[in-house]
Structure 1
């Protein structure tokens, strides 16, 4: 043993020994395994042999990976919190795009650009139907009457409520795909309860309104003094709410509930017939239904559920769609534009813009009268069936009441939102509204059409009726070349530009507007002839004096 008397040397000696022991300890440890081997995965083989069987990964080692953590969207070390937040929003948008079947939408939220300034026209005032306005505070009063309707149905048919709830729950995914917006936040039980309540309520109204409302008492068992299920003042407000775009139940749900009540769950088409009869008072015309159509509807009760007349032969979406098709029954045959405008039609199809300058069909009534074009009432029950022949614009009569504004606004909003009908022939209500907007620019125009028996309104003044038509199509996207009235407007405009007709019209307007003007014109012409004859004989006697 070596004796060390120097303190510093002894310290360095001890440090060296400790370092030597640490190095020896590290050399005795086993080499680290690759990551695959640490997790129980096979090592890559280089000799072409088959890999050994995979070992099951322990549950605690497997962390679930969501869409937001996919390699393409997982946060990178160098990303800031702002970039990470943006990636999260993109992942949410991707999930929403994949989960929303746009092609199956039918109950829409009215776009803000359309509803600004007229919120009441799109919002139910008495009853909520469907999911978009379910649970609104001011509409809850009607819920107790919905429960009464369900009680009457179950008592009358002997069915259990679980049969209806189970049948509707089986359609949950299909129903959710029809609604835009709020349906995603409603639970399955609440959704089924809402649809059964609202659907039963609608069916009771449809069936009871037949035969002038006698069905409520005679067939359905309600009291004659019932505050809702009787033809009273409340029925008018309920009917107006049932035609709103946001206040709808898919028609296949109503068909299913009616089929359960009648014992034929597979039937379709019956509800459409009942709905047309129920909404008959809202028709803006004197003769809402043709006699043959009415007879088919009235013969439905107790008959086969498949009896549906032509306009309702295709699958329909909801009550508003049914009402729109009943308005346009027998179809609209658009008049083709002249060859000179075919290139314009193709060009305009590429750019559909909400531009008032591109929504001008014809001139207003005052200008048309100056060009010799007269307006005359056309005797038909189809208010949209406008004709033009030899300077006469034949327009069917239309009735305007306090619900007409909301009715047309919701029909136009439906045509704007539902792309399946936004095709040639699919914007017919919008076409008619814009055509009437072009004709009417003032209260005088309304008065002229009223005197001709074309417009009958129950509003406060002619100015209110003019304002109604002028505000219907604000912010509406429309192309006149896709309208069924495009050919007719070309005929009217060509006649308007013909100068001879303008001169004749000016003559009639200025000199033949009333009997006294006609007498004065005749007298003036007679005096002119006498003056001409006197001048002639005076000149004749001067050059050829009598001898």
Structure 2
């Protein structure tokens, strides 16, 4: 009987079709036997027949089946409970997420933190070296020495206008919430008093820099604005260029409406012009020459300008480019990337010449002639380009004009020979160490930059150049230049061989003619 009990227990632990069939066979074998004695010590109170054992084991089997059915139901119930909790948690998270609305702060953001993938390549190009403007770098130890000059400028403005500082604080407090929306959430940590103080000091500093540098003479600065000839800011050959460079960094900006409001309060009755006009005068240099001849007039830049970097960018755009407007991107589906350097273009028959224009981005191509305006490169050029491109990467309502230009020049310049040729043609002038530094500068600009080839103002120029290069003659000309005209001796050898072939042909011709036309 022990054998049958062990086998039945083994069968009961295998709830499959084969085990059920085996159990049926065991039952039939038991039913054909006689009386047996229960050897289980727990149930050995009385002897049982085989038929009674069959009934007991059937009951045990039914109990096991009920447990097998209950177990998956318990698992399903446990899974259902956890899944229900998961769904409830997701719904609560969705309810806490604000909906996308037109008046939300992130749509007003225009002063961004530079993305980390760009910052890690050139960190010093995005951080101020002399003065901090705005909340991002406030308290930075590198620029703390300029804080005393901000207080000095505010005191000078109060002395000149005879206003009470409370008037300025009230004006800034009215713009506090609107100003906060221009930055990311990190400025929320600043309390209201600290933030308004920052707005007043930085706006006053920027306006005094713009106003005072607009005077052409030192006497005019002293007579009109009260600064002495030995002022440590306005008479320093080092500080003003560094301040100008810091004021063109994306993280170092104040909203233009803050500057306009303080400018309106602090202006004298005989003071004309606007913040935008003062800014264009201040940023004008041999490197970049801002103008109002592009898609934006002074009035439009004053009304639609976001900050000084945005005003500067709008002033260097070429004439004929559409302004930045939401949904104003015209996709250029026929854009063909230009992969040829200046040397390759020259060998293919395309002439590269200087274009007489103050707008360095105004590139033009027609009938095999590529005209590029001159560009002066110095130590601050890379920083200005990087911040302009970072702004175009971050601001959603902005076309990538500067990025397109940088990408175009990056493809044109692949070697020092390309820089030397552009310098020879008067297109590139630089104050760097060597032509190799210029080539590296342009090759570094577009690293980690997301460039939309369908939004490029130079797409037509690129397409026309590519079509010209796809013609047969430029390909043959390139082959001749590379195979036979690579150096002067190859050029001489080619024409010497051509001359010998010509003489051989003439000799053969005269021999044939002499045979058919006898001498008289």
TM class, shorter-length: 0.7 to 0.9
Per-residue Cα deviation, 1:384-414 (whole angstroms, up to 9, x for no partner): 1111111111111111110000100000111
Mapping of residues 185-224 of structure 1, within 5 Å: 185-212=189-216, 214=218, 215-224=220-229
Equivalent position to 2:441, from 468, 483, 491: 468
Q: Quick check: 2:215–2:221 contact (8 Å CA) kept in 1?
A: no
Return the alpha-carbon distance in structure 2 between the equivalents of residues 470 and 163 of structure 1: 50
Secondary structure of the residue aligned to 1:191 is helix
Return the alpha-carbon distance in structure 1 between the equivalents of residues 482 and 156 of structure 2: 66
Secondary structure of the residue aligned to 1:456 is strand
Asked whether 1:535 is paired with 2:508, we answer yes
Asked whether 1:254 is paired with 2:259, we answer yes
Return the alpha-carbon distance in structure 2 between the equivalents of residues 128 and 118 of structure 1: 18
Secondary structure of the residue aligned to 1:219 is helix
Return the alpha-carbon distance in structure 2 between the equivalents of residues 166 and 310 of structure 1: 27
Per-residue Cα deviation, 1:482-526 (whole angstroms, up to 9, x for no partner): 211111111000001111133245556777789887776665554
Secondary structure of the residue aligned to 2:371 is strand
Return the alpha-carbon distance in structure 1 between the equivalents of residues 506 and 338 of structure 2: 51
TM-aligned CA distance change 1:523 to 1:480, over 3 Å: same
Per-residue Cα deviation, 1:195-251 (whole angstroms, up to 9, x for no partner): 100100001100000133634323111111111133521111111111100000111
Per-residue Cα deviation, 1:145-180 (whole angstroms, up to 9, x for no partner): 000000100011100111101110111110110111
Return the alpha-carbon distance in structure 1 between the equivalents of residues 302 and 267 of structure 2: 21
Cα offset, 1:85, TM superposition: 13
Secondary structure of the residue aligned to 1:480 is coil
Matched with 1:3 is: none
Matched with 2:421 is: 448
Mapping of residues 498-517 of structure 1, within 5 Å: 498-504=471-477, 506-507=479-480
Asked whether 1:436 is paired with 2:439, we answer no
Cα offset, 1:186, TM superposition: 0.6
Mapping of residues 86-165 of structure 1, within 5 Å: 90=93, 94=97, 101-165=105-169
Mapping of residues 354-373 of structure 1, within 5 Å: 360-373=337-350
Secondary structure of the residue aligned to 2:376 is strand
| Stretches of structure 2 lacking an aligned partner (at least 5 in a row) | 1-80, 324-329
Cα offset, 1:472, TM superposition: 1.1
CA-based RMSD of the aligned residues comes to 3.4
Using structure 1 for the length normalisation, give the TM-score.
0.70
Matched with 1:376 is: 353
Q: Quick check: 2:132–2:143 contact (8 Å CA) kept in 1?
A: yes
Secondary structure of the residue aligned to 2:352 is strand
Secondary structure of the residue aligned to 1:222 is coil
Cα offset, 1:374, TM superposition: 1.7
Matched with 1:51 is: none
Matched with 1:403 is: 380
TM-aligned CA distance change 1:366 to 1:277, over 3 Å: same
Mapping of residues 59-74 of structure 1, within 5 Å: none
Mapping of residues 297-308 of structure 1, within 5 Å: none
TM-aligned CA distance change 1:89 to 1:317, over 3 Å: farther
TM-aligned CA distance change 1:280 to 1:172, over 3 Å: same
Return the alpha-carbon distance in structure 1 between the equivalents of residues 378 and 447 of structure 2: 20
Q: Quick check: 2:280–2:290 contact (8 Å CA) kept in 1?
A: no
TM-aligned CA distance change 1:87 to 1:529, over 3 Å: closer
Return the alpha-carbon distance in structure 2 between the equivalents of residues 222 and 89 of structure 1: 60
Return the alpha-carbon distance in structure 2 between the equivalents of residues 118 and 447 of structure 1: 26
Return the alpha-carbon distance in structure 2 between the equivalents of residues 144 and 236 of structure 1: 19
Q: Quick check: 1:210–1:277 contact (8 Å CA) kept in 2?
A: yes
Per-residue Cα deviation, 1:71-99 (whole angstroms, up to 9, x for no partner): xxxxxxx889x979977994896269889
Q: Quick check: 1:217–1:224 contact (8 Å CA) kept in 2?
A: yes
Q: Say how many residue pairs are matched.
A: 427
Asked whether 1:236 is paired with 2:241, we answer yes
Return the alpha-carbon distance in structure 1 between the equivalents of residues 192 and 427 of structure 2: 51
Secondary structure of the residue aligned to 1:481 is coil
Asked whether 1:390 is paired with 2:367, we answer yes
Return the alpha-carbon distance in structure 2 between the equivalents of residues 268 and 110 of structure 1: 35
Return the alpha-carbon distance in structure 2 between the equivalents of residues 319 and 289 of structure 1: 12
Q: Quick check: 2:276–2:302 contact (8 Å CA) kept in 1?
A: no
Equivalent position to 1:315, from 301, 304, 307: 304
Asked whether 1:417 is paired with 2:394, we answer yes
Secondary structure of the residue aligned to 2:225 is coil
TM-aligned CA distance change 1:261 to 1:544, over 3 Å: closer
TM-aligned CA distance change 1:79 to 1:258, over 3 Å: farther
Secondary structure of the residue aligned to 2:168 is helix
| Stretches of structure 1 lacking an aligned partner (at least 5 in a row) | 1-77, 294-307, 335-341, 349-357
Using structure 2 for the length normalisation, give the TM-score.
0.74
- Which of these two proteins has the greater Rg computed from alpha carbons? 2
Matched with 2:177 is: 173
